[in-house]
Structure 1
Amino acid sequence: MRRNRELDRNSRRGRSESPRLLIFTEDKYAGRSYFLGLKNQLRARGIDLGAEHGEPLNLVRSAVAKRDLAKRDPHTRYDEVWCVIDVEAPVPHPSLEDALTLARQQRVSVAIANPCFELWLYQHFEQVNGYRTSKHMAKALEELGRCNGYCVGHKDIQYSDFAPLVPKAVEHATALHSCVEANRHTNPWTDIHLLVQRIRAEHGCG
């Protein structure tokens, strides 16, 4: 019995040092590959990636359901839950506002890209200053020719192409926030860098 109590204390101590994060990505290729690669690079065992993908509202619902299920065991519960969501352009996701409302109610953090996740990827190489539709952003990333495995027809990536350039992407994303009026309704705009910085800082990367 004493040994079990010691294991519990050690487990709680370990959890306090390394918060457990659950991340759901809207797409099952580029977004998932990016955060899986980041997790593997940092050897971040406390990060789990959700298996469900799709439109924003169902994504948030799935994240809430997995979080609530994990709460039943103190060793598996999550300290933070994140959903990585695209606004899409020229027409935003119909369920976007409902998804954001549910996320606020359920204390789920949301990292947004306007128009899409490809904006964040592109910012590892160059800044995006003008309006882009989702289609144009994906095509621009493909034509850049620096993302192995990525094309408009199959949007997968290798994280190793991006890993050395994360600080540049953070710099570019931060610059989009320099305007007082800038927010998720602004195109281009993203706050994915906040999640990436959160993960990197937790594992000793500034």
Structure 2
Amino acid sequence: MSGGLRRRRTGGKPLRRAPGRRPELRTIVVFCEGIRSEPDYVLGLKRLPEIAENTALNIEIHPEQGAPITLVEMAVARKSDPEVDECWCLFDVEWPLNHPSLDAAVALAKANDIHLAISNPCFEVWLILHHEDQFRFENTDVIERRSRILDRRKGKGIDAAAYMPLRKEAFRRAAALEKRHAKDGRKLPHDNPSSGMHRFLAAVEGESVHRTVDRG
């Protein structure tokens, strides 16, 4: 499915505010592997006034919870739309059994300028980072259980509004994990725990998030 207001723009020209006119919105299309938590979170961002004023977030979900390579292929096809500024794919590594064709998905994305926000082992590690640090290597089941304990949810959907005030803390923690893995030479899929959602957040929110991590 997809959603969000999109205003037509042509080419990649920089945005200029015309007198008395609202600036055109950047259009970011987000491809989600999950059908609840990830779309819920993106919709929470979409509802924030400071984001809605500048960015149209359109969400597309594979009807069969497709593998990462499928999401990237969808994004490559969508990228040809001249109204689309960026395409992002949000997916998990999964542990102990990694998603098939993970390396191929990353390579295809890199070759086609598709942005990735990969969570290892799963998206719930990003949710955990809103509440606390997560340093220990864990499998998907353990991370999912800890996430549910922290926000007390019973189903797969999340209350995104409760996460929004904590997102900069999650950004700081995820960025710190990324630096730690880089320093120790750990790369995908061995960078457990980690989440690239902080880079997606920076793409959506811009400099305000960057300044937060610089102070961290």
What's the TM-score once normalised by structure 1's chain length?
A: 0.81
Match of 2:3 in 1: none
Unaligned runs of 5+ in 1: 1-6, 72-76
Post-superposition shift, 1:182? 3.8
Post-superposition shift, 1:45? 4.8
Match of 1:32 in 2: 39
- Point out the structure with the larger helix share: 1
One of 124, 127, 135 as aligned partner of 2:133:
127
Question: Counterparts in 2 of 1:106-185, with a 5 A limit?
Answer: 106-144=112-150, 146-147=151-152, 150-151=153-154, 154-179=155-180, 180=183, 181-184=185-188, 185=190
List per-residue Cα deviations over 1:78-109 (Å, max 9, x = no partner). 11111011011111101211111111122111
Report SS of the residue matched to 1:162. helix
% identical aligned pairs: 30
Unaligned runs of 5+ in 2: 1-7, 18-22, 212-216
Post-superposition shift, 1:66? 2.4
One of 90, 100, 109 as aligned partner of 1:103:
109
Match of 1:4 in 2: none
* Counterpart AA for 1:38: L
Post-superposition shift, 1:14? 5.9
| Contact 1:25–1:31 (8 Å) recurs in 2 | yes
What's the TM-score once normalised by structure 2's chain length?
A: 0.77
The verdict on how the C-alpha distance between 1:48 and 1:23 changes in structure 2, with shifts beyond 3 A counting, is same
Report the aligned-residue RMSD: 2.5
| Contact 2:55–2:204 (8 Å) recurs in 1 | no
Q: Across the two proteins, how many residue pairs are aligned to each other? A: 187
Q: Which moved more, 1:170-179 or 1:157-166?
A: 170-179
Post-superposition shift, 1:8? 7.4
